[in-house]
Structure 1
Amino acid sequence: MKKNNETVEGPDGLVYTARLPLSSATLNYLADLIRGHCKKIRSPWRALPAGKIAGIVLAVLRCDQRPGDLAGGNGIHRTTVSRWVREVVGLLAARAPRLDRALKKIARTGGGIVLLDGSLIRTRRRTGDANRKNYSGKSKCHGLLVIALTDDRGRLLWVSPARPGRTSEITACRHDHLTAHLRATGLGAIADLGFIGLDDNDDPDADPAVITGYKAARNRPLTPGQKLSNTVLAAVRAPVEHGFAHLKNWRVLTKLRADPKSATVLVRALLVLTNREIAR
C-alpha cells in the first residue's frame, strides 16, 4: 500500500521563503540540542538535517505556522513535523530553571528582590466542565494562568505550571509555596495589588516576603504617602511586564489548543528560548 504524503491543497501548492525574527545563535543552540538527543537515543537518521528541523520548529513556535504547511514545503508528512515539535519542546522544557535554583542564583549574585506577576494565556473555548474551569472572570475570556518571576531588569527567572483560568494568583502562588522559597533564600518579591494577602506570616517582626502597594476602600481613601508608595512600587515592578512581553512574542501562545499539562511544558520551553534570545 502506497502512502500519500501530499498536502491537502495538492502537489502543485506554492512554496515561499519567510524570515524568522530570531538569531542564528538560537538556531544553532537548538540544532546542537537535537543532534545530542539523536546521539543519546542512538537514532542518527532524520528525514532532514538537524539545522533544518530546528528552523521548522522555530517557525511553529515563533510564527504559529501550521505543521501541514511546513510539511508540504519541505517534502515531509504533517505528523512528522508535529512529532519534531513535541520532541524539541520536551528537550527545552527539561532545561527550564526550577524555582529554588532560580532564587538561589539571584541570591548568589547579590540580588535582594525579584518581581512577581501573573498573566493569562488565552485558549480556545471548550465545552462542558473544561469550559467553566478555564474561564477567567477577571479577564472575561478562557485561558490558563501562569505566574512568573523576573529579576529587577525584567529577565525571566521562573514560570509556574499553567493552571485553569479561574484560579486566583494568590492560590497559584500558595500551591507553589512561593513565600517559603523566598524566605529560605532571603529574598523579597515586589508584586501588584492582586497579591495582597499572599504573605501570611504570623511573626510581626519578620520582613515581608511579598511587598505590595496599598488598596483604597470606599470609606478609606489613600493618603498622599500611600499614593506615593504605590507610584514608586509601580515604577520598580514595571520591568516584569517586559518579561511577559518577551514570552508572548512567541505567537504559538496567541490562542492555545492544549490542556494545562501540555501548556506547562510549552511555556517552560519558550522560557528557555526567550532567555537565549535576550542573553545574546
Structure 2
Amino acid sequence: MQCWGLVPDHVRVVGNEARAVIISDRRITGLSSDVIAELVAEVGPLWHERHQAKLESRPRKRAVGAGAKHRLVFVDRLLATLVHLRHGVTHDVLACWFGVDRSTITRAIGEVRPLLAARGCTIAAGVRLRTLAEVIDHLGAGGQAGIIDGTEIRVRRPAVGRKDREKFISGKNKQDAVKAMVLTDADGRLLFCSPAQPASCADITHARQLGLVQYLNRGPVVEILADAGYQGLGAQTGGRVVTPPHRKFKDPPDWYEEIYTRRRKAHSSRRIRVEHGIAHLKNWRALARHHGRREHMSDTLQAVAGLLSHQQTATRGTRQGQ
C-alpha cells in the first residue's frame, strides 16, 4: 500500500518523489513503509475528525469548503512528526524541508503527537495494550514473566524562581531529568511505557503511584523481575516482584559470597532484556535528550513506545511468515 497516493494532485509541498523517499527509507523515520501506511489509515481519520470538531466549535460558521486550505496535508504532517521524533530535527529545519512556516510544523506536531501517544503498545495485529492493568492481564493470560525498569531523560532546567524547580534534579545523575517506567516481556518486547515523572521521584515510589502493587495483588499471578531500586515490592506483592538477593552477612564467608554472586548474576541475565528495550527507545533522538517543553515529554515517550512496538510486531510477523 502506498500511502502517498492519498495526497490530492493539486497539493505540492514536499513533492511525490521526495515523499516516496522519506517513506521508503526506514533510516529516515525508523518505520517501514507498511507501518507508515497503517498509521495513515488509522490516525488520519482521527486527525480529520478532531479538526472538523474544532472548526464546528467556533462561534462563527463558514460554508463547507470555505476558508484557507491546508498547505501541509495529513501525510506530510505525520512524516514531519516521525522525522522529529526519530532524529530530533528542529521545527525550523522541518519547515524549510516541507516549505511551510515554522508555526505550521509546530502546530502539526502538536496535533499528531497526542494521537500517536494514545495508540498504546502493539503486541499483535490490531491488539494493543494501553494501561498497566491490561499489561498485567496479558502477561498472566500467557503465563509470561515481565521485566520493569526506570529510565531517565535529560531535560532543560526550569527557570530561576519557578516553583518546584528542584524536583527535576535526579538523585542518581545529579542532572535535570524526567523519569519513566518501562515494562517488557521476557524477550524484551515493549509492552508499556509510563507517563513522565520528575526525576527526583524514586523508582519504587513511581511504581506504587502507577498502581503496580494493586494490579499484581488483584490480578493474575505474574512474575515481575526488577532491579534493586524496587526492593520492598516483593513483600507487598506476595513475592511476585523479584529483586536481586540481599547480602545476609556484613563480612560473608567465601562459600556464601560465591552463592550470592552467582544468584545476582543469574537475576541480572534474566533482567537484561529490559535494558535492551530501553536502548531501542533511546535510539529515537527525541528521547536521548529533550530540548523542548517538559509538558510534552509524556506524549513523546508514549508516542515513541507505540511506534517502536508497532514496528517490532510488524518485523516479527514478517520473519515468522518467511
TM-score by length of 1: 0.84
C-alpha RMSD of the superposition: 2.4
Query: 1:31 — aligned with what?
Result: 40
Change (3 A) 1:74 1:259: closer
Say if 1:198 and 1:210, in contact at 8 Å, map to a contact too: yes
Mapping 1:62-101, distance limit 5 Å: 62-96=86-120, 97-101=130-134
Change (3 A) 1:127 1:179: same
1:200 aligns to 2:232 (yes or no): no
1:223-275 alpha-carbon deviations (Å, 9 max, x no partner)? 32222111111000111011101111110112224565421122111111010
Match of 1:276 among 294, 299, 310: 310
Mapping 1:47-66, distance limit 5 Å: 47-66=71-90
User: Percent of counterpart pairs with the same letter?
Assistant: 28
1:211 aligns to 2:242 (yes or no): yes
Which secondary structure state, in structure 2, belongs to the residue aligned with residue 53 of structure 1?
Answer: helix
Can you give the 5+ residue segments of structure 2 that lack an aligned partner in the other structure? 1-17, 53-64, 121-129, 315-322
- Counterpart Cα distance in 1 of 2:198 and 2:210: 15
| Residue 49 of structure 1, CA deviation | 3.3
Query: 2:146 — aligned with what?
Result: 114
Alignment coverage as a number of residue pairs: 260
Can you give the 5+ residue segments of structure 1 that lack an aligned partner in the other structure? 1-14
Mapping 1:168-247, distance limit 5 Å: 168-183=202-217, 184-201=219-236, 207-216=238-247, 219-221=250-252, 223-247=257-281
1:124-144 alpha-carbon deviations (Å, 9 max, x no partner)? 122344441111121221101
| Residue 185 of structure 1, CA deviation | 2.2
| Residue 218 of structure 1, CA deviation | 8.1
Greater share of helix residues, 1 or 2?
A: 2
Query: 1:250 — aligned with what?
Result: 284
Matching residue's letter, 1:254? A
- Counterpart Cα distance in 1 of 2:296 and 2:189: 24
Matching residue's letter, 1:172? H
- Counterpart Cα distance in 2 of 1:110 and 1:261: 37
1:140-166 alpha-carbon deviations (Å, 9 max, x no partner)? 211011111110011111122211111
